[in-house]
Amino acid sequence: MVDLDRIVDDTIQLLGKNMAKNYRVIVLLVGPPGSGKSTVAQSLCDAINAKYTSYLSNFTGKHGESPIKYQQVHEDEVNILKNVNEISVPLQKYLVENDGIMPQCVEDVKFEPVKIQANDGSTVVIGRGGLPNSVKIAANESELFSNIELSQVVPMDGFHLSRNCLDNFTDPVEAHKRRGSPMTFDSNNFLQLCKALCETAKITARNNVGTIEQNNSIETVFDAVSSTFISNIPCICIPGFNHALKDPSTAALTIPSQSRILILEGLYLLYDKENWANIHKIVEGTASYLIYNIDISESVLQDRVAKRHLKSGLVSSYEEGVKKFQGNDLLNARDIKSNTIKAHSVITITND
C-alpha cells in the first residue's frame, strides 16, 4: 500500500527546503489505468490541505490574527505565456466555423498551442483539441484569497480529445475504440500547461525567508509559506472530464496563486514519446519536484478496471468489463510500462 503519510511529509519538507528559490513544488503521480493514482493524488492533496487549515486555525486562535501575507512580483515574472504566439486570423475563423475545434489539426502532435485574448481580459490557450481542451489564464479573483487550499490536484483527464475531435481522425472508429491511448489526448496543450505551471514554480518570493532545513516542523514550514504568498500570479483554469457527457468540460478546475503544491496526475506523464516525453524534462527544470510511479500487477489492474467499467455503466457484466479492459486499458498499461522514462528521480511505489 501507499505510505501516504511519508509522501505528505516529504512534499511539505520539500516546499520548505526550496522556499528561498521556488514558489511552488511540483509532484508527478503516474500510473496505468486502475493503479489508483487519482485516489492517491486526491488523498495527498486533502491531507496537506487539512494540515494547513489546522495550522491556520491554531495560529489565529493563538495570535488573534492571520499569518497570511501577500506581495507582488514584477509583471515579467508572471507573464507565463510570453512564448506562446497569438492565434492567426485564418485559424481563429477556422475554429469558429467548426464549433471550437480544428478538424485538420486533431492528429497533429506538432501543433504549437496558440493564445486568444478573450473579451473578459483573460487569455485562452488552445492546442490541437481546440476549445474543449483549452486552458484559461486570468487575474486572481478576490474571493479566492479567503479560502486558501495550499495543495491542488492537476489531472490529465480534461485533456481527452472530445468525441467531435475523434470523429475527425483518419480512422475515427479506431480512435473511439482506443480512447485513452496517447494519441487521443491533447498532449500539445497539456505540455503547454506544464510549461506554464513550472514557470510559476520557479518564481521567487521577495522576502527574508532563507532555506529551511530538512526535517523541520510542519509549523515552521507553514510559518514561512504563509508569509510568502504572491497575489499577482494568475489563476489557471483547466478542463475536467465530464463522465456523464463523456467529454471534456472547459474551466472545470481553477489553480489559484495560493496553491503552492501542484499534484499532476495521469497516465502518460513519464511516457517517452511525442509531447509527453518533454514533461519530465520541464518538471526537472524547476529543481523543485517529486515524482512517483505506481507499479502494480496486471491482475489487480484488470479486476479494478473491470469493476469500474461495470459500476459506471459502460458494460453490463463483470466479464464484459474484463473484455473491455483487455481490449484497450491493458494495451495502454503495457504501452506505458514499455515506454516509461527511466530516471533516478522517479520513486516507485506500490498500491496493490
Each residue's pLDDT tens digit in the chain (352 positions)?
Answer: 889 999 999 999 999 999 889 999 999 999 999 999 999 999 999 999 999 999 999 999 999 999 999 999 998 889 999 999 999 999 999 999 999 999 999 999 999 999 999 999 999 999 999 999 999 999 876 555 668 999 999 999 999 999 999 999 999 999 999 999 999 999 999 999 999 999 999 999 876 655 566 667 999 999 999 999 999 999 999 999 998 899 999 999 999 999 999 999 999 999 999 999 999 999 999 999 999 999 999 999 999 999 999 998 889 999 999 999 999 999 999 999 999 999 999 999 998 8
Of 198, 199, 196, 164, nearest to 179 by C-alpha is 164
Sign of the Cα torsion 98, 103, 104, 107 reads positive
Give pLDDT, residue 212.
Answer: 65
pTM exceeding 0.75? yes
Give the span between the Cα atoms of 26 and 286, in whole angstroms.
Answer: 8
Residues 291, 5, 296, CA angle at the centre, nearest 5°?
A: 55
The three-state secondary structure class of 338 is helix
Which residue matches cell numbers 480544428?
A: 102
What local confidence, expressed as pLDDT, does residue 143 receive?
Answer: 56
> Which own/partner pairs from 273-277 qualify as long-range (CB within 8 Å, at least 24 positions apart)?
273/182, 273/339, 274/109, 274/182, 274/187, 275/109, 275/187, 275/188, 275/190, 275/191, 276/182, 276/187, 276/191, 277/341
The confidence score (pLDDT) of residue 215 equals: 66
Q: Report yes or no: 116 and 84 within 8 Å, Cβ to Cβ.
A: no
Please report the pLDDT score of residue 351 as a whole number: 87
Residue with cell 497570511: 68
For the domain that residue 327 is a member of, what is the CATH number? 3.40.50.300
User: Residue 295, Cα to own-chain centre: how many angstroms?
Assistant: 20
* Residue 206, CA distances (Å) to 15, 77, 78, 91, 210 in order: 16, 12, 14, 41, 11
Q: What are phi and psi of 340, to 5 degrees?
A: -95, 135
Q: How many domains does the chain have?
A: 1
Cβ–Cβ under 8 Å, residues 263 and 27: yes
**How far is Cα 304 from Cα 321, in angstroms, rounded to an integer?**
10
Residue-level pLDDT at 68: 93
Give the residue numbers spanning the domain of 172. 4-350
Write out the H or E segment, with its range, that includes residue 337: helix 330-338
Identify the pLDDT of residue 87: 98
- 3-class state of residue 190 by DSSP: helix
Check residue 313 and give its pLDDT: 86
